Amino acid sequence: MVLALDTLPRKLTALLLALIASVLLSVSLWSQYRAESLSRQGTPESLEQAIALQPDNAELHNRLGRVLLYAPANDATRARKELERAAALDPRNAKYTIDLALDMELSGDFAGAARAIERARRAEPRTPGILWHELNYWLRREQNERAIGLARDLLRMAPEYTARAVPLLLRVTSGNVLLDDVVPRDARAYGSVLEAFRREDRLDSVEKFWKREVELGQPIPEGHVRMFVDWMLSRGRTELALQAWSDAARNGWIPVDPEALKQPFYNADFHYPLLNFGFDWRVQPSADAWVWVETGGPRGGQQSLCVQFSQDAREDYAGVYHYAVVQPGHHYELRASMRSEKLISSSGARLQVQELAPGRSVAPATEPLLGTNPWKEVLLQFETGPETKLVRLSLVRPAPSLKEPPSSGQVCLSPLDWKLLGPGRMASLPGEQR
C-alpha cells in the first residue's frame, strides 16, 4: 500500500506515526539494555529489577533462582519459585529443567527431581550435557546399573565425555565391565580410559585394555604407548610392557624398527635416536651432566654415547639407563667399550646392573674408569634371581666425598654386546638368594 502525502494532515499523521514507532523502539531498546546491565551485576536485587523490566525472560528467572539457592541466606522457597518459572517460560530449554531438578534433589524431593530430569531428556534427547546430568543423578542415588546404561548411551553419542565419566564409574564397577559394555571403540576414548586406569592403578584390567586397543585397528598416539609401557614397567608387568612395545613397533605407532625387536638388547649400538622410554635408552635430566650421541667408537662407523660432567658436579649420577628383559635364574654376559677424559672421581664411572625383583639388592658392575683412558673393553657377568624378569643397566658415577673435589670430566660408552649364556645354578631354586 502506498500512502500519498499530498496534504498537510496526511503529512502530520505520517510524522506522528513515525515518532510513536521511534519512541516505542527506543523504550524497548532501553529496557533491554537496562535489563542486561542489571543482570550483569548478578545480585538478587539487580536480577529482580531486571525481571521487572522483562518479566517473561526465562534466563533472568533461572539466574535469580540459582543465586537465591546458593546465597548465604539460602531462600529456598523463592529459589524454587524462580526456577519453576524459568522452566515454565521455556520448557524446551532443558538446562532450566535440570537446574530445577537439582533444587528438588537438594531438598529431598527425589521423585520430583527424577520427573524433571525425564522432562529435560524429552526436551533435548540428543544433548550430551543433559544425559551427563542424568547419569550423575542416578550415581548419587546409587542406581549404578541404570547409571552404567546411561553412560553407555552418553559415550556412544559423545566419546569426549569418556575422561569425565570413567573415573566416576570406576567407583561402582570394574574396568573390565567398562571395557566390555560402556567404552566406545574409539582411540581417543581409550586414551582417556588409560589415563583413568593409570591414575587409579587398575592393574586388574590392563591385559584386556591393551588387547582391545590393538583390536581397534586405529592408530594409537605415541604418548599413550609411552604412558602404558612405562606404567607396566613401574608395576612389574614386564611381559605386558614388552608386548605393548612390540605391538606398537609392528604397527608403526612408535619409531622403533620392527626388525630390531629381534635383538636381545634394543639399540645397543646407539644406531637409533634415543626414545627415552620403554626398552630404549633413557636420559634423566641433570643440572651437572650433559648427554649426547656422537659418531666415533673403537672401530670406524660406530656410534657412542657420552656424558660430560660439570666442574661443580657432586651428586650421585645414574642418569643414563636401559631396561632389559631377562629370564629368571640364568647367566648373562655384557661386553662394552668405554673411554674417559679427565674424569675426576675416586670411584670412577662404570656400568651397573640392578635386578628389579624382591630381595635382589646386589648390583654387579664393571671395572671403573678414572682419569683419561682410550677405548677399553669392559666385561660383566651376572646371574639373575629365580624371580627376576627385568634388569636396569645404568651408567653410574658415585658422588665424591665432602673432602674430594667435584667429579668433573667425560665418559663415553660404545656398542654393547648382551648375551644369554644359559641357565644358572639358581634356575631350579625358587626364592633362594644369590
What residues does CATH 1.25.40.10 cover in the chain? 45-259
Place of cell 612408535: 254
Could you tell me the end-to-end alpha-carbon distance of the chain, in angstroms, rounded to an integer?
108
25 or 165: which leads in pLDDT: 165
pLDDT in tens, 384-408: 999 999 999 999 999 998 889 999 9
285 pLDDT higher than 70: yes
What 3-state class would DSSP assign to 418?
strand
What 3-state class would DSSP assign to 331?
strand
19 pLDDT higher than 60: no
From the DSSP assignment, how many helices (H) and strands (E) are in the chain?
14, 9
| Single-letter code of the amino acid located at 432 | E
Entry pTM: 0.82
Q: Give yes or no for a contact between 79 and 54, defined as CB atoms under 8 angstroms apart.
A: no
Q: Which of the listed CATH numbers 1.25.40.10, 1.10.1500.10, 1.20.1330.10, 3.90.1300.10 matches domain 45-259? A: 1.25.40.10
Spatial separation of the C-alpha atoms in residues 330 and 349, rounded to whole Å: 26
Secondary structure E strands in 80-183? none
37 pLDDT higher than 90: no
Spatial separation of the C-alpha atoms in residues 271 and 249, rounded to whole Å: 16
282-423 has which fold?
Jelly Rolls (2.60.120)
| Single-letter code of the amino acid located at 405 | P
What residues does CATH 2.60.120.260 cover in the chain? 282-423
Spatial separation of the C-alpha atoms in residues 329 and 426, rounded to whole Å: 5
Class of residue 373 by CB neighbours under 10 A (exposed 0-12, middle 13-18, buried 19+): middle
Q: Give yes or no for a contact between 250 and 217, defined as CB atoms under 8 angstroms apart.
A: no
Spatial separation of the C-alpha atoms in residues 104 and 256, rounded to whole Å: 57
Q: Give yes or no for a contact between 228 and 210, defined as CB atoms under 8 angstroms apart.
A: yes
Spatial separation of the C-alpha atoms in residues 300 and 297, rounded to whole Å: 7
Spatial separation of the C-alpha atoms in residues 331 and 88, rounded to whole Å: 79
Spatial separation of the C-alpha atoms in residues 432 and 259, rounded to whole Å: 37
pLDDT in tens, 138-155: 999 999 999 999 999 999
β-strand partners of 295? 303
Cα–chain center distance at 11: 73
241 or 16: which leads in pLDDT: 241
For 282, the grid coordinates are: 633413557
pLDDT in tens, 331-351: 999 999 999 999 998 889 999
pLDDT in tens, 298-324: 998 899 999 999 999 999 999 999 999
Spatial separation of the C-alpha atoms in residues 40 and 379, rounded to whole Å: 76
234 pLDDT higher than 70: yes
Place of cell 542489571: 38
pLDDT average, residue stretch 372-387: 95
